[in-house]
Every structure is written in structure tokens, then in C-alpha cells.
Homo-oligomer: A and B are copies of this chain.
Amino acid sequence: MTTEHAPASGRPTLEQVARVAGVSRATVSRVVNGEATVDPRLRELVEQAVTATRYVPNRAARSLVTGRTDSVALVVSEPDTADAAVPAAGALADPVFGRTVTGLLREFGPRGVQLPVHHAADEASRERLLAHLGQGHADGVVLLSSGPADPLAERLARGPLPLVLAGRQAGALPASYVALDQRAGGALAAVHLLERGCTRPAVVAGPPSGPGADPAHRERCDGFRGVAAERGAAEPPVAVAAADTPAAGADAARRLLAADPLTDALFATTDLLALGALAALRDAGRRVPADVAVVGFGDDAAVGAEPGLTTVRRPVEEMAAETARLLLRQIDQRGQRAPSVIFPPTLTVRATA
């Protein structure tokens, strides 16, 4: 008398597979989880039953007993945007976010690791997130942080969950990270410009505070100036833009040109700034790259430039893939911290330099 009280959802369970294969649940479980200690003949039987019933393990049940979730939280954190001048945009609208997701999914997807996204933009969402993660709803965390001093980074780093910081160094925090060699990027730009024959380069640097602020601006700038000094070029003057926008970049470029009309190369620490510089050069009647060569940084806004902007490209997808691998390793090794990795950027040469 098979009572068969239908489990509401018509999906097959271990029990059913076991019945079909004529073995116990335990054996089916072993086969499904690839354990070695199982008779080849039984294994064969079970595998047939699995495909016959189209069985797929129930994540919730598995998670309940193993304590693992097979999911990694992608947390996009940004400083309270309430006071900032950037209203709608936000870190999620940055192509870097999408490219990061692409890279992460490349590793996680095939392994069946879920990637729930979280956005922490204010106190409330931060607390909710922390509580959520604290409950063990993810096996690890990828933190995509826009600010250097992120309160969330610290709290997550002190927490028990494996954590990898994406695109930003950990500083004093006990966490591994995957970051870009910003200095090397600046150096790349300098070498290219100098080898091109430029002798009076200048730098449009992003703001040290306010919208678009980022310590990376300074590192890129330092890398650029380091090479210039090393190669005996004139010490490149630096104009700091008020914000990371084309308008501010144009303004900074104008100041640079006014201070030294013979400037023949401009390195902007951001593509957006470079776009503004391009506009300023146009207005000033300078030809690009004949009179002034321009190199940007990021390869984000570069797609919008006509003619194409020569720029320093960050291997965001590859970095994200490495982030995923690092995190997976940490999860496997039960919290044992993985080494951090720094990626070198590359130069994408287009029309402006």
C-alpha cells in the first residue's frame, strides 16, 4: 500500500531515486556526492535512476545539514551618498560592477555557486546586511568597495566569513584582496608618451576628496611622475580636478595649458577627465595627438570618445575571476587566508596618443 502522499512540489527526492534504484537513501547520497566507497554496480544503478527521475539535489535540505550554502555574497558598498553630489549614478551603474560580475560568474557559474548581490549604501542596509551574513546565509563575501575607508570592510574583515576585497587593497585590514597596480598604470602611460617623443607632459589628476575621490588617483599620478623623473623628462605639472567629470577635467586641462602653452602630452587619471581634457584642447585649437597627445585611465568612458581614446586598461574580468578563485580556496580551507594578488594594467592604444 504505497501511500504516496505527494510532496506538493513534484520534484523527485533522494527517497524516490532510492526506491527506483532499489537501494537506500544513503547510497544514493553517496553516489550523488561522488564518494569513492560504493560498489560500481550499485553506482551504475543509481546513476540510471538519477537520470530517469531527473533528480537534482535540494539545496535547502543540503544546506540545512551541511551548514554550507553554495553561495557567495557580492556586496557593493559605497559611502553614504546622501550628501554626495552624485544622485542617481552610484557604484552599481559603473561598468566596473558589471564587468566584475562577469568575471565572478565565470568561476562561480560552472561550480553551481550562487551570487546574490547586495547594495550597502546607508546605515540601515549595512546593518541588515551584516545581520544577514552573520546568520550564515553565504559561504563567503566579495566586497566591491568604492571608498578607501569603508566601515563595512572593517566589520566584515573582523567577522568569521571568508572575505576578499575586489579592486582595492586591504590596508591594515586582515583580508586578502585583488587589486590593480595603479602606479604601473601611470608608468605605462608615461613610457608611451615619452617614447612617442613628448617632452613636456602634464597630469590631470582626480580629486583627493569629494565626488570621484580615490587614493588611486595619486598612485597613478606618482607612477607617471616616477617614470618621467627616471627618464629625465621635465617634472610634469599636476592639476587637480574638482571632481571626476569631463567638465572638471576640461577645467584642469585649461589651467595646465595656460601655465605652460608648450605642453605636448596630457595624462588624465580617469577616462572621464581625459574626455574633458580632449574638449578643452579642441576649444583651444590644439590638434590631438599632433600637438598634444592624451592618455586616459580605465577604458570605461573610452568607448564614448571619437576619435578613440588611448587609455590604460584594467583587466577587471580577470581580476574578478581571480577574486572568485581566492575566495573559493579560502572557503575550502576553512578561513585560512589566501594570498593577495596585484594585477598589472595594459595600455590600449587608440587615436589620441
**A interface, CB within 8 angstroms of B:** 8-9, 11, 54, 56-61, 63-64, 67, 69, 71, 74, 88-95, 97-99, 101-102, 105, 109-110, 112, 114-119, 125, 128, 131-132, 134-137, 245-247, 249-250, 271-272, 275-276, 278-279, 282, 301, 303-308, 317
Nearest neighbor of A106 in chain B, beta-carbon distance: B119
A245: B residues at CB distance < 8 A: 303
Given that A61-B64, A115-B116 are known contacts, is A93 also in contact with B102, CB under 8 Å in the complex?
yes
Nearest neighbor of A99 in chain B, beta-carbon distance: B93
A303: B residues at CB distance < 8 A: 89, 245-246, 272, 301
With A59-B60, A71-B116 given, can you name 8 additional A-B contacts, CB distance below 8 Å?
A54-B131, A64-B64, A88-B99, A93-B95, A93-B99, A114-B116, A282-B282, A304-B304
CB of A80, distance to nearest CB on chain B (Å): 15
A9: B residues at CB distance < 8 A: 67, 136
Whole-angstrom CA separation of A114 from B135 in the bound complex: 14
In-complex Cβ contact of A128 among B74, B99, B109 (8 A): B109
CB of A320, distance to nearest CB on chain B (Å): 11
Whole-angstrom CA separation of A315 from B97 in the bound complex: 19
- 8 A-B pairs with the lowest CB-CB distances in the bound complex, closest first: A92-B98, A246-B306, A56-B135, A60-B63, A304-B304, A279-B306, A60-B64, A114-B116
The secondary-structure label for the interface of chain A is helix
A74: B residues at CB distance < 8 A: 117
CB of A153, distance to nearest CB on chain B (Å): 20
Nearest neighbor of A68 in chain B, beta-carbon distance: B60
Given that A114-B116, A128-B109, A131-B54 are known contacts, is A306 also in contact with B276, CB under 8 Å in the complex?
yes
CB of A75, distance to nearest CB on chain B (Å): 11
A60: B residues at CB distance < 8 A: 59-61, 63-64, 69
Given that A60-B60, A99-B92, A109-B125 are known contacts, is A275 also in contact with B246, CB under 8 Å in the complex?
no
Given that A93-B98, A109-B119, A128-B109 are known contacts, is A305 also in contact with B246, CB under 8 Å in the complex?
yes
Given that A93-B99, A279-B306 are known contacts, is A8 also in contact with B67, CB under 8 Å in the complex?
yes
In-complex Cβ contact of A137 among B59, B128, B275 (8 A): B59
Q: Check A272 against B119 for contact (C-beta < 8 Å).
A: no
Between A and B, 17 residue pairs with Cβ closer than 8 Å are A8-B67, A56-B132, A60-B64, A89-B303, A92-B102, A93-B99, A97-B97, A101-B119, A109-B125, A114-B137, A116-B116, A116-B117, A246-B305, A272-B303, A275-B305, A279-B306, A304-B305
A116: B residues at CB distance < 8 A: 71, 114-117
Nearest neighbor of A299 in chain B, beta-carbon distance: B88
Most B Cβ at <10 Å: residue of A8, A134, A136: A136
Whole-angstrom CA separation of A74 from B109 in the bound complex: 13
